[in-house]
Structure 1
Amino acid sequence: MAAFQLLADSGATKAEWCLVQGKKQKIFFTTGISPYLMNTEQMVKMLNKELKPAIKKETISAIHYYGTGCGNPENVKSIRKALKEVFPTAKKVDVDTDIMGAARAVCGSSKGIACILGTGSNACYFNGKRIAKSSPGLGYILGDEGSGAFMGRKVIQHFLYNTFEGDLMTKFEQKFKTDRLEILDKVYRQPLPNKYMASFALFLSENRGHYMIENIIEDSFNDFFFNHIYKFKESWLYPVNFVGGVAFAFKDVLKELCNSYGLQLGRIMKNPMEGLVEYHR
């Protein structure tokens, strides 16, 4: 029986898996693996329940896993152990960070800047083999400039401070049907406040053209450029690439900003899997 490679791109809430053999590939989705919230036993249980039945009896020879929390060696050890237990035929099991996955997806084996703009944000300079420089990710409370959570927080602020003009206030109220008490409870008391805040970023893509909406988008990306991309001198030497739903949704703004800053725009991908399949083939 022919052997397959298994590629994974995992966030805390959702994971995308791709079974690859030559030019053949199959995509699967499971619950995300957050090594800070799941132990090895829980990972094994989830994988056996959600992924193993989809893989069926295919022989997995190698696994390339990229995910959240993989900058921590203990987390890497836990994920690798779980994968080896579920797929004992895999002779090679590589576990790496989500930013490495993004870098390999958009840069391949070339030098470049790789940025993640999704629920959170991150950036690095990739020298074609490894991440040579990275910008510290401070999370949704202190950082995540340009991310869905960052933009969503701006939308919430504009609503709660009554900054939005009348037409936008009405649209917000009709769409979200929420109020100050519910928002504060979700942000300060309920789990996954970053995901909750990121859900409001959709309001921006649905109301393009209004100057207040465009200002929020542009200001958010400007903060990301200034705090992350500007920190690498290589940003003016190599292409600047982006991965993530937020980057893909507002790629026109990213293109304009790169032009105005004299940066060479590289690839913009909604998710890294397509690029990872190319890289590992």
Structure 2
Amino acid sequence: MAILIADSGSTKCEWCVVDKGKIKKTIFTLGISPYFLNQEQIEELVRRDLYSQINRFSIDAIFYYGTGCKSIENQRLIKKAIKRVFPDAEIKVEIDLMGAARAVCGNQKGIACILGTGSNSCYFNGKKIVKNSPGLGYVLGDEGSGAYLGKKVIQYYLYQTFDEELKYRFEQKFKMNEVEILDRVYKHPLPNRFLAGFALFLAENRGHFMVENIIEDGLNDFFFTHVCKYNESWKLPIHFVGGVAFGFRDVVLDLCSAYELEAGAILQHPMQGLITYHSS
């Protein structure tokens, strides 16, 4: 019995064909967000970029975890799109936060956090998400995320807060002026992905005090705004999933210590944890 597990953020989606607990095929496609793509566009992406590479496998069940899937309406939209490509498979669609919780907590209680292109968090009781500090997206929230940190980088550059050294490094790396940056943010699709791309500048310039301030302040905003809202945070381990959490795990661990929290797992990707969960 082969199953297909999907973990989709706003930027990319990882698909794994799994049979008897072993990975048979891994495919990466663009991320699927029901806020930016309609049913036809999702179906086209799945058919073109995924199905063509795994059609030799007989898929019995699909477990899809994705951004934007908190609402029943968005879950149905994605399920319908995937069902048109895999008509014989049983399909279950859940929010990416559930995938993160199952990946790091398994069947145990814990606080599960996502720090990737976007951010989110929850208290997971071992079976379901009991509490969820609202994720308001990259415009109103997403504290600590790649988009949030990338926005700070752009602000520092355009407000001329960067010193000459960082300004020079920024211009050498991105080669974009103010008009081009604002055009990409306000007139082009998927601005959250564009913003998150600037977080790489932080990773490449660690050690500079302005860079460290942006990272520490951005991640602290996530801890203060979300993690600290759960009473359970001081009783259970705090787990993290996502490229930002993994890339800046030293800062994440320092903040856990500062808030007197127990740090749990810090994973770049939840897939291996999901494979273990569904295989058991």
Q: Aligned to 1:154, what secondary structure does the other structure show?
A: helix
CA–CA separation in structure 1 for the residues paired with 2:38 and 2:165: 48
Coordinate RMSD, CA, aligned: 1.4
> Is 2:64 the counterpart of 1:65?
yes
**How does the TM-score come out when normalised to structure 2?**
0.95
Deviation for aligned residue 1:55: 1.3
More divergent stretch after superposition (161-170 vs 96-105): 161-170
Q: Which residue of 2 aligns with 1:202?
A: 200
CA gap of 1:80–1:239, structure 2 versus 1, over 3 A, is same
User: What residue is the counterpart of 1:74 in the other structure?
Assistant: 73
Cα distance in 2 for partners of 1:81, 1:41 equals 10
In 2, the alpha carbon distance for the partners of 1:210 and 1:33 equals: 35
TM-score, normalized by length of structure 1?
0.94
Q: Which amino acid aligns with 2:12?
A: K
Distance 2:44 2:179 in 1: 37
- Structure 2 matches for 1:201-280, cutoff 5 A? 201-280=199-278
2:36–2:190 contact (8 Å) kept in structure 1:
no
Return the alpha-carbon distance in structure 2 between the equivalents of residues 149 and 42 of structure 1.
23
Whole-angstrom CA distance in 2 between matches of 1:83 and 1:172: 40
Instruction: In structure 1, list runs of 5 or more residues that go unmatched.
Output: none
Find 2:174's aligned residue among 173, 176, 187: 176
Could you say if the C-alpha distance between residues 110 and 168 of structure 1 is closer, same or farther in structure 2, counting changes exceeding 3 Å? same
The 2-side partners of 1:31 and 1:181 are apart by 27
In the alignment, the residues of structure 1 paired with residue 150 and residue 39 of structure 2 have an alpha-carbon distance, to the nearest angstrom, of 33
TM-superposed deviation, 1:43: 2.9
2:100 aligned with 1:102, yes or no? Answer: yes
1:109-128 matches, cutoff 5 A: 109-128=107-126
Partner of 2:54: 55
Deviation at 1:236, TM superposition (A): 0.5
- Kindly indicate whether the alpha-carbon contact (under 8 Å) linking 1:6 and 1:62 is maintained by their aligned counterparts in 2: yes
List per-residue Cα deviations over 1:104-145 (Å, max 9, x = no partner). Answer: 111111111111111111111111000000010111121111
Structure 2: segments with no counterpart, 5+ residues: none
Q: Distance in 1 between matches of 2:162 and 2:38?
A: 44
Match of 1:38, SS state, is coil
Cα pair 2:202 2:211 within 8 Å, conserved:
yes
Counterpart amino acid of residue 208 in structure 2: H
| Per-residue Cα deviation, 1:37-60 (whole angstroms, up to 9, x for no partner) | 434343333322222221133211
Q: Determine the C-alpha separation between the residues in 1 that align with 2:190 and 2:82.
A: 26
Distance 2:32 2:19 in 1: 24
Residue type at the aligned position of 1:89: D
2: distance between equivalents of 1:35 and 1:123? 20
Alpha-carbon separation, structure 2, partners of 1:48 and 1:184: 34
| Partner secondary structure for residue 61 of structure 1 | strand
Q: Which amino acid aligns with 2:30?
A: T
Instruction: Letter of the 2:243 partner, please give it.
Output: G
Does the CA contact (< 8 Å) of 2:11 and 2:117 recur in 1?
no
Do 1:59 and 1:89's aligned partners in 2 also have CA atoms closer than 8 Å? Answer: no
Alpha-carbon offset, residue 278 of structure 1: 1.0
* CA shift digits 1:172-231 (9 cap, x unpaired): 111111222212222222222221111111111111111111111101111110000000
Contact 2:10–2:117 at 8 Å: present in 1 too? no
Task: State the partner residue of 1:15.
Answer: 13
Shift of 1:248: 0.7
Q: Do the aligned residues in 2 keep the contact of 1:4 with 1:20 (CA within 8 Å)? A: yes
Q: What residue number does 2:27 align with? A: 28
- Between Structure 1 and Structure 2, how many residues are aligned? 278
